[in-house]
Amino acid sequence: MGSRTPAIFTAMLLGCTGLSVLAGLPRDPRDVPRVAELTVTRTVTDLDGDGRREGVLLVVALTGEKDPARATEVLLGTWDAEGGEKGELLWSRHVAAETGQPAHDGEMEILDLDGDGRQEIVLSWDRGLRRGLVDRWAEIWTFPDPRRPVKVWEGPWGRDTRLDRETPADRKESFEREIDYGATRAARGRAIVFRDTWRMIAGKALDPPRVTTKRVDVLLRR
């Protein structure tokens, strides 16, 4: 964690060179102009297990705003892939606009957490705006209906302040979160089990890292 250059700094650099992208982004991630795209992740799957395919698209894009807190957006969208690339848009999410928080370096994972034949999407992004600060957040969505997905969980997905100059030495920390898939599958739709790997707590480096688990009761099957 923290080894890559966050997209927010790319956006700031482009803003300093006078690049003007657009004043607002379209609702449909497929319609984001290429000049605004930073990263694009696209796949086709059956989200709700009904035998019909849905397209899923994640775009991290420049907004054209000079304010670093609003310079990038993470857009997630699904569409009816039975209609091809131009199939009907079913649902979309604009993370920064809808949460009011910075959003960059978005990632997604699509998988069946509970073995019921329907897919869940784990959507994560970074909210940090300072060099040396990683502040990742995540949401988990389930799709009983591709038009009306349900957010079953949200929370921290990783944090690293070891190189952040504004964090006091005795408060520096570093952890990454992931899903314990075996334990989650065993919960049969009633819980998600997380595994946190801690490399620093309260300014003290941990070697080897400390691994903790946390079970969160949720309803994945609806």
pTM: 0.90
One digit per residue, pLDDT tens: the chain, 222 residues? 644 556 655 554 444 433 334 447 999 999 999 999 999 999 999 999 999 999 999 999 999 999 999 999 999 999 999 999 999 999 999 999 999 999 999 999 999 999 999 999 999 999 999 999 999 999 999 999 999 999 999 999 999 999 999 999 999 999 999 999 999 999 999 999 999 999 999 999 999 999 999 999 999 976
Domain-embedded: residue 217: no
Domain-embedded: residue 207: no
**What is the residue type of 159?**
R
- Dihedral Cα 9, 11, 14, 18, nearest 10 deg: -120
Domain-embedded: residue 208: no
Q: How many CB atoms lie within 10 A of CB 81?
A: 20
- 27, 92 contact by CB (below 8 A): yes
- 191, 218 contact by CB (below 8 A): yes
For position 42, which CATH number holds?
A: 2.40.128
CA distance 94 to 75: 5
What pLDDT is attached to residue 1?
60
Domain-embedded: residue 168: no
CA distance 150 to 129: 29
Domain-embedded: residue 30: yes
Structural domain count, the chain? 1
Domain-embedded: residue 37: yes
In sequence order, what E strands does the chain have?
37-45, 54-62, 72-80, 89-94, 104-111, 120-126, 134-142, 150-160, 174-179, 191-201, 204-217
CA distance 49 to 208: 41
Domain-embedded: residue 209: no
What pLDDT is attached to residue 11?
54
User: Which structural domain range is residue 145 located in?
Assistant: 7-157
Domain-embedded: residue 178: no
DSSP H or E segment with residue 20: none
Rama region for 115: left / alpha / beta (φ>0; ψ in -120 to 50; rest): left
